[in-house]
Structure 1
Amino acid sequence: MATVNVYLTFNGNTEEAFNFYKSVFGGEFSYIGRFKDMPVDENCPPLSEEEGNKIMHVSLPISKETVLMASDSTNFSGEVTFGTNMSVSINTATLEEAKHLFDGLSEKGKITMPLEKTFWGAHFGMFTDQFGIHWMVNYDEPQA
């Protein structure tokens, strides 16, 4: 069954914001990665040192069921507009469920990243639905 979490996007201050959230909620980051740690993609322009040090993804479990997640925007992704800097993030139990939810919710919407296998070992995709809501769908492949 799918779980739903909030995904936030910041203009370069994700690390500061999440250190604050961690001080309030407690716990530890389950993941924190920077753009410079990503594999090189020939379709993307090289990142400056400043861009490379921005947060690509951070996860902070805040309860048994809920994970607060975020990333920084980059020159490639564009400036964040506050009020639209949140997405609904769905993690599914199966690839079939991920495909079903992605295809159904993105109908008549705008796909910004097709649901496909990623370098971090998941199937992941993003879109804005026909009502203007930003969504992310993720299925983590079982670890061998």
Structure 2
Amino acid sequence: MALINPHINFNGNAEEAFTFYKSVFGGEFKQIVRFKDFSSPEFPIAKEEENKLMHIALPIGKSNVLMGNDVPEIMGKVNENENRSKISISAESKDEADKLFNGLSAGGSVEVPIADSPWGSYFGMFRDKYGIEWMVDYDPKYKGQVQ
């Protein structure tokens, strides 16, 4: 079965955001590539952008990877207040759902507090301090499996 691995664009703070995500999820970065790693006469990189991230990957769980990058200024800014697609996390327990919800929502804005939902799962929704929208769900019928 195909996996869905979210990829998020940032305006120069991808490394800060991913360091925060790593503090919540744990694990180690699988890959960090900076723009300067690809600088060449054909692909020159501005001095102020050379340490920005072209690609970063953080494995989460057994088969998921959260990926991201900084958008070079010559390509314009990412609208951090747009209605982005949400990243959905299926937790394996209520405790894990609480840990992820509380950790990732720190400094952000909660849209739906985590609680028992009318459809029978334990669910919450928020925008983190970097503007990324998340949903955390624990359904005892699925126990962290794709629903």
TM-score normalized by structure 2? 0.52
Pair 1:31-2:34 in alignment:
no
2:6 aligned partner:
6
**Residues of 1 paired with 2:10 and 2:67: CA distance?**
11
Alignment of 1:1-144 (within 5 A): 1-40=1-40, 42=42, 44=43, 46-82=44-80, 83=82
Q: More deviation in 59-68 or 75-84? A: 75-84
In structure 1, runs of 5+ residues without a counterpart are 89-144
Q: Contact (CA 8 Å) 1:9, 1:85: kept in 2 or not?
A: no
Distance 2:74 2:83 in 1: 17
Structure 2, unaligned stretches of length 5 or more? 88-147
Length, aligned pairs only: 86
Deviation at 1:41, TM superposition (A): 6.1
Distance 2:85 2:10 in 1: 9
1:19 Cα offset (Å): 0.5
User: Could you say what the CA RMSD is over the residues aligned between the two structures, in angstroms?
Assistant: 2.4
CA distance in 2, matches of 1:40, 1:16: 26
Choose between structure 1 and 2: higher strand proportion: 1
Rg (Cα) greater in structure: 2
SS at match of 1:59: strand
State the one-letter code of the partner of 2:25. F
Greater relative CO, 1 or 2 (CA 8 Å, sep 6+): 1
Q: Identity of paired residues, percent?
A: 51
